[in-house]
Every structure is written in structure tokens, then in C-alpha cells.
Structure 1
Amino acid sequence: MAPIPLSPALSSEDVNTFPSADNLAGKNALVTGGASGIGLAIGTTFAEKGAHVTLVDISEEAGNKHAADLQSRGLKVQFAPADIRSWRAQVSAFKAAIQFHPAQRLDIVVAAAGNFSTTFIGRDEQPLTSLADDPPEPPTIAWDTNAIGTGFTAKLSQLYFELPPPPTTEGEEEKEQQEEEKSNNDPKSLILVASLAAYVDIPLMAAYTSSKYAVRGLFRSIRPLLAARGIRVNLLAPWAIPTPMTAEWMPLSRAVGAPEGRMEQAVGAALRCASDAGVVGRALAVGPHRVLDLGDDVEGWDAGRAMGVEMLGGDIKGWEVQVEGMEGKMLDAWDEDHQQAEAVKSRWWRGRRLGQAIDIRRPTIPPPTYDYQSAVSFLFMSNAYPASASRKLRHASLTTIMSGKKVFIVGPGFIGWNVLDLLVAEGYHVTGLVRREQHAAGIKKSGAEAVFGDLDDKPLITQHTAESDIVIHTATADHLASVEAILDGIRQRAATNNHTIYIHTSGTSLLDDNALGAFKSPTIYTDASPSTIDALPSTQPHRFVDLAIAHAARHDALLSTPNAKLAIMIPPEIYGWNASHQRLTIQLPTIARFALARGWAGHVGRGFSVESQIHVKDLARAYVVLLHALERSRDDAAGDDGAWLRRNPYFFCENGREFSWKEVADGVAASLVKAGRLPVPHDDDDGAELVREFDREAGDWDQLFAAGTGPAIGLNSRSRAVRLREMGWAPVEKGIWESWEEDELPAVLREWDARPEADRTSAYMARVV
């Protein structure tokens, strides 16, 4: 590709006259963040102009839905799931996009994915009091997504823009030539979506603002490099545009007295950058009134100052105002506006649940009227949470600015400890019920409190439940007494009109069909259909506890009210590893230890039965997503009184992949051969058989899970997590075999090698399971 020069600043007329962009027909575009907001609007418009479009997003449910809707209109659109924080996931999405085009090339990339969450200083952040204390690790999702993820997108764009075309046959070559002529062979185009937050200092949004500054810096750094390689790089910097993601942050826009940004202007600016080959290296602000070329502030033109004049008729840098006596007025307005934003967001989520068509391009939040100066004096102060902040700010319910709610986690082990880490990072006050001093020390190091006890200590569990806003039980799915103790504590809170959220952990063993490896079941359960789960017999694994919770939520005088929200998380086979916790799951490590002791890996029956799967870190994030959804829901305001949750308290959690237990045995054996722990098999050596059926009569089951071996590793358990995906959750962690070989197997081998030789027997496993 030939070098191209950077273009001069565009006139106001040029950037506000949106092009026809007919030359997008036949081109191939990839849009990250394509399942909602700006990304979806741009992707839809590109497709309407005749381009092939691949929408890339972390939200599979929304992405698949929007892609299907656009396909039904005859548009050339596909969806590729990816968390842009993952290089591998983005590589897969880019490959899918290139394969989607007849000529297998890529012409345009719009990096629109972003994350609004996390602040720099939490309202309830506790200062360090001793050098011996370790501060909790802050959440990094905004930086990881907006800076690193966008950097990945930019680098992959350069690599795949320069990918040589594949070899073609004579007929294919003629077709490709026609496609090339149709798209005019224009220079490739990379459009980075930053934000005007990258030009205006906003302390309350420090993580978001700084991460968008990184996108701005990336743009300025690579635009001459890529122009020299024939690739156009431009940047869009929108002001706050109402979308479902930004609904609860729109008060920030109004707090500085600025009108809302307009989606059609963002789309028009993207069309200009994508279709006009003469636009190279420009940064375009999408303000509330018009689009504006931001020039080059390093050349003496301060873009932040210009946007202050553009939006408010005042100089942002000169916005020092007297704040004494004005905080109350501003914060009253903030509180009113935020409640309106929450109501809109709540309506949007309910619309998603009910399958209603919501116009994402033009959600409406009526703006209140108030003096913007007092708002500015707050937002742009050096401390985002001044000591003078009024009680209304202290009680603001922004999801990403936690109010210090108290969480009680029963059994913060393999699952619960990962949940605990996420909640501590978000500012919750977390207490974990533990049995051992070593575990307590680890929990305290994670930033939480620990209380000693066991599941049979009902008074202790009831007491801590009664003192907590949120309770999460991750210890076991089968201990009814501890669940009853929790319900008693929630009743005490409900009787005094205190709200409680309870998330109980069950498991998809409740779907066990007693296959014992004999067949793959065609039955797939979905949490969108609670009647099929309700119909499961009470004799199924975990079911007696789940029924007690569901019955209490539906019929108990105190627990069937809006004061109690009871949910049941139902994960499938859990895998994964957190190096900070040094904890393993059960099934695969147990099969591996058996293989190390006996020289072969096994399966129950023929190993044909199938199970869904989830990485423990994806599962932990699912708990937090569900918790936030329950916190956000305002059932009483909607006239619902929580009936939707009582009708269906069930939430599956899976990553869209399945395995058979024969595949597990094969995979474990192969990994141990690769690690040099099992012999390399020879086709002519019957004695080298490395995978076979567990022989119950010979005592193999006794060295695994005893009588529970069949339900543990011989069941069919196929589930689909519809509801969590509707809430915006999506799996992002590595797959089960990548995790096994890279993380878990090395831990199993270290553990195995540390044992005395006498303990390396299959009988030992009965004690460690």
C-alpha cells in the first residue's frame, strides 16, 4: 500500500455535511462494541450502505440478536463474540471478519468497544493504617478495555489490512476483481473511538478519562506510522450520547450544563472517516451541537478549551467558581437526574427480559433545569468526593460507586473467593465464613473480614445474615441447615423493612439423568423456562435445598415481599485456576490423580454423556452481574413487587461449550503423556492402553467419588444461560483444555510430586476428594 499524507484540519462545513458513502458498498468492515450503542449504530449504517459488517462484542445474546435482525433485512452482517481484552479472542474475530467477505480481505475497522466502569478513588475507600497491610488490587476493567483492548484492535487492524490476498482460481479471480472495482481500492481505514473525556479532565471518572487519554495518545502516535504504510487512521471523540450503557452516567453531562450528544452525528462522522479517502489523521469531536475538527492541540490549539466554548459558551479551564453554599443545590439536581437515569435503565432491562423492541439510538431522559456552575465546581475539583459532599451524594446508588454495602459469603472457597475479590474491588464490605486460620489469613489479605465457624453453626450464620445487605452461599449445594439459618436472618431483616439479596449456589447435577456414560442426551435445559426446572423431582441432587429456597421466596410471609430477593445460581462443570488462591476444582484433578496412580485415565460407562462447562472466573463475574441486576431492579416502582424473580429464581451459567466424559479421559491422558507422566502409547501394545472404563466391581469407583462417581462424572447435564447473557454477562476466559494444560495440570503435578511416595496411591484420593 502506497504512503498517504496526513490531511489538514477539516472545515466545519465539511465535517457537518455527511457524505452519501456509496463507496462503502462491497467493502468489509469490523466494528468492536458492535452489539450496542455507537458501535451498533455505525455497524448498522455501514451495512445499509452495502458493506459486509462483522459486529464484535462481549455480549453474545445481544450480538446474535442484532445480527439476526439485520440479516432478516437482507443486510450482510454477522456477529463474532469477543472480549477485546483478549488478544486471542480478537484474532478469532478478525479472522471471522475476513472469511466473511468474498475476497477475504478487510477494509475498515471501527474500534468502538469501551467500558464506563470504575472510579479512581472509591467513596468508601479505607486508608492504610499499617505498613503490614496490603491494599486490595483496584479494578482495571476500564483501562484493560479502553486502552489495552483498543491497542490490540489497532495492531490487528494493521496486520490484517496488510495481509496478502489468498490464492484464487480463475473464476474466483474474476469475481474478486469485480469486488475490488466495486469498492474502488480506497486506502484501508481505522477509526478509533475515544471520548471528549480525553480532552476534558473529569476527576469523578478518572479511570475512564485516563483510559480514553490513552486512546487519544495511541491515535497521535500511530497515525503517521500507518499513513506511511497506506492506512488511514482517524479518531472520533463523542460527548455523552444516551445509550443503555451510559444511562446512569448521563447526569455527568447534564451536571456540567451540556446538552446530550446525538447518535446521528457520531454515525455521520464515522461515515466521513470511512468513506472519504482524503480524511487522514483527523480527530473529530462529536459535540452536542455539531461535529468539530479538534485540530492539533500540541500545535497551540487547546481542544479542551474549544469544546468548553462549543458546549457551554465558557472556558473549561476558567471554570473555577465559588462552591460554598452551592453543593446542596447541585447535589439535589444530581440526585433527581440520577433517579431518572436509573428509571430509564431499569425500563430498558425489563424490555430486554420481555423481548420488547427498544430503540437504542434515541432513548429519552428528560433533563432537569438547574445552575450548571455549581455542578462544574463539584465535578472538576481535584477530589472527586469532597468532605463537604451532602448526604444525597453519600446515598447515590451508582452501580460503579458502591455504597459500602455489607456482604456475607458463606464458604469463600474455590468459587466464593473469586467472587469475594471482585466485590472487595468494587468497594463492598465483605465478610467470609471460614473454618481454618490459614484460610482466614488469605481472605484478610484479599481485603475482606473473616469469621470462624462451620455450616452447622446456625446462630452465627443467622446473626451475620441479619447484619448484611447481601448473602452469597458458595460452600455447598446440599447443606439445608445453613440455608435455613440464612433464611431466618433474612426474615429478621424483612420484619424491620430492611432489604436483602441472597444468591445461593446449586449445580447442574440436579439435571442428572442417570445415564452413567451410556448416551448423549438431546435434552438441553434453559433458565428462561423455569417450569422445566420446577418439574424436576425433589430426589434429584441439590433439589431439596433449591426447593426450600424457591418455596420460601414464593410463599413465606416475609420472604415473598420486595424486601427479599432470592436467586439460585446453577453452574455446570467448573474449571479454572486463580494463582492467588491456589485452589483446584474436583473432577478433572481427581481423574488425573487416579491416572498418575494407576497409569491410565478412565470414564464411567462408555463416556458418552455430555456436560456444559464454565471457567471459575467467568462464574465469579456472573455472580457480580446478577447481583448488580438485582440491585438495579426497582420492582416496587414498576408495580412488579419482585414477582419476576419469584416466578423464576434460576440462573444457569455456561460458556457455550460442552464435553463428553470420554473426551475428558482422553484429554487427561494425552496431557499426562505430553508431560511425561504416562507412557507414549503404541498401536501394537495392548498393555499401553491409557483410556478405559472405570470398573466399579474392581473398586475403581471407591478411589474416585465412591457411590457418587456416577452422578459426578457420568451424567448428562446440558444447560443454557439465557438470563445472564440478557443482563450483559458473557464468558471471556480460556477454554477448558487450554486452562487444564496451562494452569491446572501443573498445579496437580506440583501437588503430586510434593507427596511422600507412600501416599501416591489411588487409595489416597479417597481422602483428598
Structure 2
Amino acid sequence: MSKSLFLLGTGYIGGSVLVALLDKKAYKISALCRDEKKADMLREMGVRPVMGELSSDEVISKEAAASDIIMHIATADDLPSVKSILKGLSQRDSSKAPAVYVHTSGTGVLTVPTHPDDITFNDKDPAKFDKLIPDHAPHREIDLTIKRAVEEGKLNAKVSIILPPCIYGIGTGPFNQISIQIPRWIKESIKEGKVINHGPQNYWRNIHIRNLVTAYLTLLSHLEQTTAPPPLYIIAETGGHRWGDLGILLDKLLKERGLIKGKMVEDPEGSTETETGTQSRSKAEWLHEWGWKVEPAETIEESMVEEIDFMRKTVAI
């Protein structure tokens, strides 16, 4: 019998993961949806739409209690929906096998404070997370809420939080197919008529959406099979970049296409608007130990050309 899987989020990451899950033909999938047109598309794909929003407490908690697997890939920053999931998992029939809950956070949590280059967060060293990350860091309130719920031992579930870094590449889902950081930077540059090179000295790890999808599947497979309490924090990364180098490339590519004319300027601080220019160093260990196969993929530099041209065809820039 197919396991039931409840998905929150069918956008850039969630939609790409959804397509991969459907290809496996191993799950009976339902997905939170607030739009009737998207609901019709989900039905055509073989997915049961669950009509509601992230604030729909009763809807989400009921689905979480009844589902074998819950994957929250909608946002890293919505506390009400996470509380609804945790409530549902605490109400899950104790005679049932533990559910699997995969929550999506992000390595933006590692950006506050700005850690020096010699500080790298490794998912096999969770104590460093609790020691060096303040409670006010991005995503941290939600991550800590999940951590406390797990430690209280009231959830009939195996829980892990996956932390992607800067994600790039064109997604494969049915709806949104572009990421956040690089596309926002592209839009900002065109709006301003020049590239603002935020935090050029700072460094981030990155990952192509194709490999992030397989990271989710690897984590899911491990959680389904393990009987031991899983690690809470799971990092997924394959490459890295300095923002300054990307800014120089972005300036060149946009000028070649006649999209900007102004001279690039440097801003030593990171940007809250584009979420670029901060510092986030992370290292994946657990996924590799569990057999994660990293596929050949374009680098973030190679993908930038594709993303600019894709956005010109699909969104107003």
C-alpha cells in the first residue's frame, strides 16, 4: 500500500520535489492549495489538493495527524503552519508507526552574526548551531520550535530540518520555476540600471535545484528506513561562491544583453531585499553518508546565463 504524503509548498523547491515524488510512484500525495486553478492542475497530475492556507490550523493539523509523511517546503518562516503540523503529529494515533516530518529551513540562519571565514557549520556538529546561532537569526524561531517539540518527546514522528544554501537553476515544478536570491538580484539590477554588488567579500555555499531535489529524496528515504532518532539538522550543499565574483559576472551578462548601462557599485553590507551579500558557510555530511548521489550540474556562474534568459521570457524584467 502506498504511503500517504502531505506536501506544503508546490513552488520552486516544492514543485520540483513534487515532480520527483510522482516519478517514484510510491506515494499517495496530497498538497496544500489555496488556488482553484492550481488545484485543477494538481488533480491532473494525480495529486489530491487540500484547500487551505498556511494559516488553516484545523486543515493542516488534521492532514498531519493522518499522513505517513509531511514535507513542509512552502517557506522557512511561517510559525503558525509549523505549530499546526506539530499539533497534528502530537495527536497522531500512537498505534500507528511514527510519521516522517521533513521541514525546510535554510542556511540563511547561519548569517547572523557574520561569522569569519574559519567558521563552517557542519550538520554532524549540532552543538555549534546552538552555541553560535542567536535566537533572532533568520528562520531560527521556527527551527527552535521544532527542536523543542522533538526534545519534549510528544511527537509520534521522526523529524529532520533540511537547510539548503543559495539555490540556483531552473525548477521542474508546474508553477514557479525560479529561485529567490539570484533572480531578485537580477530584478534589482535592472530596476536600478546597475548592479549593486552586495557584500562582495562574503561567501555562501550553493546547490543546483536538481541536486537539492535528490537531497530531499535521500533524506526522506533515510527517515523512512531508520528506527533511531534522526539528526535534526541536515545541510545540503555542493558548491560555493563569493558574492563579489558573481556581481562582476552579473554586470557583464546584463550589459551584454542591453539590460543595464550603469557602472557597478559596491555595497559592503548584505541586502535584505535580495538576500545576497551575507556570509553563510556550511558543510553537508549526513546526506553523503546516506548515499546521496550528486549529479553533474551547471555551476552557479554557468546557470546565471540561463536564469537571465529564462526570466526575460517568463517574467517582467
TM score, norm. by length of structure 2 = 0.91
Could you say which residue in structure 2 is the equivalent of 1:651? 234
Distance in 2 (alpha carbons) for counterparts of 1:404 and 1:461: 21
1:531 matched to which residue of 2?
Answer: 127
Counterpart amino acid of 1:717? Answer: S
Any idea what the Cα deviations from partners look like across 1:69-108, whole Å, max 9, x if unmatched? xxxxxxxxxxxxxxxxxxxxxxxxxxxxxxxxxxxxxxxx
Determine if contact 1:409/1:472 at 8 Å carries over to the other structure. yes
Q: Tell me how far apart the structure 2 counterparts of residues 463 and 727 of structure 1 sit (CA, whole Å).
A: 31
Match of 2:211 among 611, 618, 636: 618
Match for residue 177 of structure 1? Answer: none
CA offsets, 1:710-769, max 9 Å, x none? Answer: 8x2131101111100111113223221222212x111221245xx4xxxx7xxxxxxxxx
2:192 to 580, 595, 598: 598
Pair 580,531 (structure 1): closer, same or farther in 2 beyond 3 Å: closer
Q: Counterpart amino acid of 1:409?
A: L
Q: Distance in 2 between matches of 1:494 and 1:540?
A: 35
- Look up the match of 2:9: 411
Match of 1:566 in 2: 159
SS at match of 1:495: coil
Alpha carbons 1:408, 1:468 under 8 Å: kept? yes
Q: Give the whole-Å Cα distance in 2 for the aligned partners of 1:617 and 1:435.
A: 26
Separation (CA, whole Å) in 2 of partners of 1:663 and 1:450? 43
Aligned position for 2:110:
511
The match for 1:609 among 181, 202, 215 is: 202
Deviations along 1:44-76, one digit per CA (max 9) or x if unpaired, are xxxxxxxxxxxxxxxxxxxxxxxxxxxxxxxxx
- Secondary structure, aligned partner of 2:58: helix
Q: Is residue 185–residue 276 contact of structure 2 (8 Å, CA) maintained in 1?
A: no
Structure 2 residue corresponding to 1:554, chosen from 151, 158, 183: 151
Aligned residue identity for 2:7: I
Q: How many residue pairs were aligned?
A: 313
The offset of 1:437, in angstroms, is 2.6
One-letter amino acid of the counterpart of residue 713, structure 1: T
Give the structure 2 partner of residue 324 of structure 1.
none
Matched-pair contact (CA < 8 Å) for 2:11–2:173: no
- The residue correspondences of 1:248-397 to structure 2 (distance < 5 A) are none
Query: What secondary structure sits across from 1:409 in the alignment?
Result: strand
1:714 corresponds in structure 2 to 277
Which of these residues, 279, 293, 300, is aligned with residue 730 of structure 1?
293
Select the structure that is richer in strand: 2
Contact 1:501-1:630 within 8 A present in 2 as well: yes
Aligned residue number for residue 492 of structure 1: 91
Q: 1:408 to 1:603 in 2, by over 3 A?
A: same
Q: Contact conserved, 2:161 with 2:232, CA < 8 A, in 1? A: yes
Hey, what does 2:69 align to over in structure 1? 470
Taking a change above 3 Å as real, the CA distance of residues 404 and 748 of structure 1, as seen in their structure-2 partners, is same
Match of 1:444 in 2: 43
How far apart are the structure 2 equivalents of 1:499 and 1:467?
A: 11
User: Residues 524-557 of structure 1, C-alpha deviation per residue, up to 9 Å, x if partnerless?
Assistant: 111011111122221211111111111111223x
How far apart in 1 are the matches of 2:15 and 2:7?
A: 9
CA contact (8 A) 1:527 1:720 kept: yes
Compute the displacement of 1:659 (Å). Answer: 0.9
Structure 1 pair 715/736, CA: closer, same or farther in 2 (3 Å)? same
Which structure has the greater CA radius of gyration? 1
Q: Which residue does 1:676 correspond to in 2?
A: 258
Q: Which residue, 239, 246, 249 being the options, matches 1:667?
A: 249
- Once residues 511 and 694 of structure 1 are traced to their aligned partners in structure 2, the CA distance between those partners, rounded to angstroms, is 20
CA contact (8 A) 2:8 2:32 kept: yes
Letter in 1 for 2:302: E
Counterpart mapping for 1:221-240 below 5 A: none
Gaps of 5+ in 2: none
What is aligned with 2:22? Answer: 424
Query: Aligned partners of 1:580 and 1:551: how far apart in 2?
Result: 33
Instruction: Kindly provide the amino acid, as one letter, of the partner of residue 615 in structure 1.
Output: H
Check conservation: 1:599, 1:678, Cα contact below 8 A.
Answer: yes
Give, in whole Å, the separation in 2 of the partners of 1:439 and 1:694.
40
The code of the aligned residue for 1:527 comes to D
SS at match of 1:666: helix
Question: Cα distance 1:747–1:442, how it changes in 2: closer, same or farther (>3 A)?
Answer: farther
Instruction: Please tell me the root mean square deviation across aligned C-alpha atoms, in Å.
Output: 2.2
Alignment of 1:114-125 (within 5 A): none
Query: Structure 2: how far apart are the matches of 1:512 and 1:616?
Result: 21
Tell me, yes or no, if the aligned pair for 2:10 and 2:173 is still in contact at 8 Å.
Answer: no
Whole-Å separation in 1 of the counterparts to 2:113 and 2:313: 35
Map Cα deviations across residues 195-254 of structure 1 (whole Å, 9 max, x no partner). Answer: xxxxxxxxxxxxxxxxxxxxxxxxxxxxxxxxxxxxxxxxxxxxxxxxxxxxxxxxxxxx
Task: Report the AA paired with residue 236 of structure 2.
Answer: C
Cα distance, 1:579–1:729 mapped onto 2, change above 3 Å? closer
Q: Which has the higher helix share?
A: 1
Residue type at the aligned position of 2:313 = R
Distance 1:472 1:507 in 2: 15
The amino acid across from 2:193 in the alignment is G
Amino-acid identity (%): 31
Paired residue secondary structure (1:713) = coil
Rounded to whole Å, the distance in 2 between the matches of 1:447 and 1:497 is 26
How far 1:487 sits from its partner (Å)? 1.0
1:694 shift after superposition: 4.4
| SS state at 1:673 partner | helix
**Whole-Å Cα distance in 1 between the matches of residues 88 and 173 of structure 2?**
32
Letter in 2 for 1:585: S
Residue 178 (structure 2) aligned to one of 584, 590, 599: 584
Between 1 and 2, higher relative CO (CA 8 Å, sep ≥ 6) is seen in 2
**Residue correspondence of structure 1 range 13-52 to structure 2 within 5 A:** none
SS at 1:484 equivalent? helix
CA contact (8 A) 2:108 2:165 kept: yes
- Which secondary structure does the structure 1 equivalent of 2:91 belong to? helix
Could you tell me how far 1:586 is from its partner in structure 2?
1.4
User: Per the alignment, in what secondary structure is the counterpart of residue 676 of structure 1?
Assistant: coil
Query: For residues 173 and 112 of structure 2, what CA distance do their matches in structure 1 show?
Result: 36
> Contact (CA 8 Å) 1:514, 1:715: kept in 2 or not?
no
- C-alpha displacement of 1:520: 6.0
Mapped partners of 1:466, 1:532: distance in 2: 32
Q: Any conservation in 2 of the 1:417–1:443 contact (CA below 8 Å)?
A: no
| Offset, 1:414 | 0.9
Alpha-carbon distance in 1 for matches of 2:310, 2:265? 24
Tell me the equivalent position of 1:522.
118
Gaps of 5+ in 1: 1-402, 636-641, 680-687, 761-769
Match of 1:740 among 304, 308, 316: 304
- Cα distance, 1:599 vs structure 2: 2.0
Letter in 1 for 2:240: E
How many angstroms apart in 1 are the aligned matches of 2:98 and 2:145? Answer: 20
Which amino acid in the other structure matches residue 197 of structure 2? H
The CA deviation at 1:595 is 1.8
| Displacement of 1:508 | 0.5
* 1:502 alignment partner in structure 2: 101
TM-superposed deviation, 1:578:
2.7
2:102–2:159 Cα contact (<8 Å) kept: yes
